[in-house]
A = this chain, B = another copy of it.
């Protein structure tokens, strides 16, 4: 009986392999640091060994595994299963990951970029359940995105769709990791919020943000901004509202283009909750067309820390 699946989550700092049943219940999990600096061959060998270890420790035979899902940083080609130089995996240049895994285990393998796989997991197991048009946005070190339509990842022409964080809002704005300026990501990712906060704290030292960061301006992170805003700190509230304005503007554009049932936002939006989401909702109401704005829900993603594991297995369930 092929009633189980394997999920592989390949991150820049850690690798994880989970074995799950067809309902998404995780039986075993194996973790290891990626040690990206030691190169791709090392990491791939580690992944293959972790898969074998996971299946064995779940007490399963290979015949019981129907599929292997791999969630990995992009760019990658979902058809050929080749991974092209993800920024967080130096040296991974045109790695035929699907073929390597299929050759090792003889089990059908699906490869997907992590934001798309996360979107699919939210649709399958999280806040997107029951919705036909789901947009998922990470809001963490970057702003990635995935679009799920009718339970399928929307890939676009060459697996590049869903780069919602790289829509440009301010062409003369702050530089973005992608090489452009003023992308939504350059304004609202964790590091971008921290950068805006550090500049603001320099000008207004009387803020709880600084205390939460241990008095060190350079140590100010987005978490300190959210926590200080929750305590009623004025500067922090202004920074949260500014973040919500840019997020709301970007989401309004998505709402006009994609007309989703729901937009689910990860990490920072989960931590900040309605403190951030309410002004985002208000901005979307003001900036999007009335008909698509009426229908869209803007909610925190639901899977939290579990998303990496569930993203990989959602690909093969």
Report which A residues bind B (CB closer than 8 A): 75, 132-133, 147, 149, 154-164, 166-168, 171, 178, 180, 249, 252-254, 256-261, 286-289, 291-292, 294-296
Contact = CB atoms under 8 A, between A and B. Distances in A.
A289 B160 contact: yes
B258 A156 contact: yes
Copies of this chain present: 2
A307 B36 CA distance: 54
Nearest to A165: B256
A288 B171 CA distance: 12
Contacts of A289: 160, 163, 166, 178
28 contacts: A132-B157, A133-B156, A155-B259, A157-B260, A157-B261, A157-B292, A157-B295, A158-B259, A158-B292, A158-B294, A159-B259, A159-B291, A160-B256, A160-B289, A160-B291, A160-B292, A161-B292, A163-B259, A164-B256, A164-B257, A166-B256, A167-B257, A168-B249, A168-B252, A171-B249, A178-B289, A254-B257, A257-B257
Contacts of A149: 154
Contacts of A159: 259, 291
